[in-house]
Amino acid sequence: MIPAWMLFSVVTGCAFTMAAIAADRLAFSGRRPRRYVWFAAMAVTTCWPAITLIRTAVFPAGDPSGAGVSPGSGAHRLSAILVSAPVWNVSPYWGPLILLAWGVISAALVARLVFAVQYIRRRQTAWRPVEIDGVNVHIASDAGPAVIGLRPMRVILPEWVLGMNQAHRELILRHEAEHRKARDPYLLLIATLLTALFPWNLALWFQAARLRTTIEIDCDNRVLHTHPRWREYALLLLTIAQRQADETRPLIPALTEPTSNLERRITAMRTTPTFSRFRALCLGFAATAAFALACAVDKPQSPDGTNRLQVNAVQQHAIASAQSVNPSNNMTFFEFQVEKPAALRETPHLQYPTAMKRSGISGEVLAQYVVDNTGRVDMRTFKILKSSGPEFTAVVKAALPTWRFDAAVVRGAKVAQLVQQAFEFRAPPGA
């Protein structure tokens, strides 16, 4: 189940990434901030698997076989269970191993973040506070230019900034002031935590990288809005990158980026966005289509053969004839006699018959049995009403004793109830 859930998260994350790319271009054309697009993409990518699980629980899908209450039989018809043969087999031991690896990697990334915070606290005692051009900053020998911390947000400048001319210092200080004003460190912290908690989700890492880049691009745009000297500003970025190219720093300065990101920032400065209604319509359609694709992706089936159970919510009903019935543990009740029918507590697990899978044979089983007042299947009452083969019957018969139900209720008392259950076995295409 864990590998399937992780795969589902990655697939939906890729769909949301495509939607974010289209929305990013739309925001660029409209001269709107782009960082919020990627922050929203990360938030939705992280939360969507949980939202899907909640949505499935609250609004369960319909019965795939159309099975309902069989009139006249007296047996309560449970929703059919679809058992699809996995395209590939995954050992049941992979789930715990994946969880263990996930925990170890996440712990290492969180520990790295904690170490960085502790490093900053130790080093900040050596940073001397000064006032430059009317702005309170801290001078460090091995950090900056950057905004560090949340409360308070400190502007850290390296020693060599003091030797720059006033115009360049003004641009650097304006850049860091814009970061602080927009509370960008909060966005970066959340992005770092999300990638640390879900390190296997490649879509999240891509979104986090684009978030960091767009945070800087948005900040550059705000700086250039006040100081429209993009050539001088671009040369300043290149100068800072060159001065720090040979230095190893534990803290990544805000104005220093990898070559590809620095190129994107300079290109964004030079490019004048043009708003076209047709292009905006196309981008909006692409973003909507990608988002709809992510929403349409259903919770996948586990590759280890775990079933998808689609349980219909049965309406609670009490018929007048049930009022005259005396609930007894020795009695078996029918559909029309109970106020609340028996219902499965959780998704059952069945394995597709190996021989049938190899042969590409599908089948169907219709079983009847009694769910006692403890919520267990009374196998003495087990009866096959229809079956496509003994292999399918054997799978069903072996699984039923492990199932747990919420027992049927009559006048507040738990009772035994006769139920019917359909099982649909579907072989993989081309098997």
CA atoms of 332 and 372, how far apart (whole Å): 8
Residue 209 host element (H or E):
helix 202-226
CA atoms of 412 and 333, how far apart (whole Å): 14
* Integer-rounded Cα radius of gyration of the chain: 31
Q: What distance, in Å, lies between the first and last C-alpha atoms of the chain?
A: 23
Give the DSSP letter of residue 351.
P
Largest CA distance in the chain: 96
Q: Give the residue extent of every domain in the chain.
A: 2-59+90-296, 314-426
Place of tokens 């999300």: 194
Place of tokens 């400190």: 154
pTM: 0.61
Question: Which residues on adjacent β-strands are paired with residue 83?
Answer: 425
For the chain, 431 residues long, give each residue's pLDDT as a single digit of tens. 577 778 888 888 888 898 899 888 888 888 889 999 999 999 999 988 777 766 655 554 444 444 343 444 577 787 778 776 655 555 566 778 888 999 999 999 999 999 988 888 888 888 888 888 888 888 888 777 888 888 888 888 888 888 888 888 888 888 888 999 999 999 999 999 999 999 999 999 999 999 999 999 999 889 888 888 788 888 888 888 777 665 545 444 444 445 557 778 888 887 776 656 666 667 667 667 766 665 655 444 433 333 433 333 333 333 333 334 455 556 777 777 888 888 888 767 788 887 777 777 888 999 999 999 999 999 999 999 999 889 899 999 999 998 999 998 888 889 899 999 899 888 765 44
Q: Are 212 and 255 in contact (CB under 8 A)?
A: no
Place of tokens 């507590």: 345
Q: Domain 314-426 classified CATH 3.30.2420.10?
A: yes
Q: Rounded to 5 degrees, what are φ and ψ at 161?
A: -65, -30
Burial class from Cβ neighbours inside 10 Å (0-12, 13-18, 19+) for residue 41 reads buried
Q: Quick one: which of 188, 139, 182 has its CA closest to 38?
A: 188
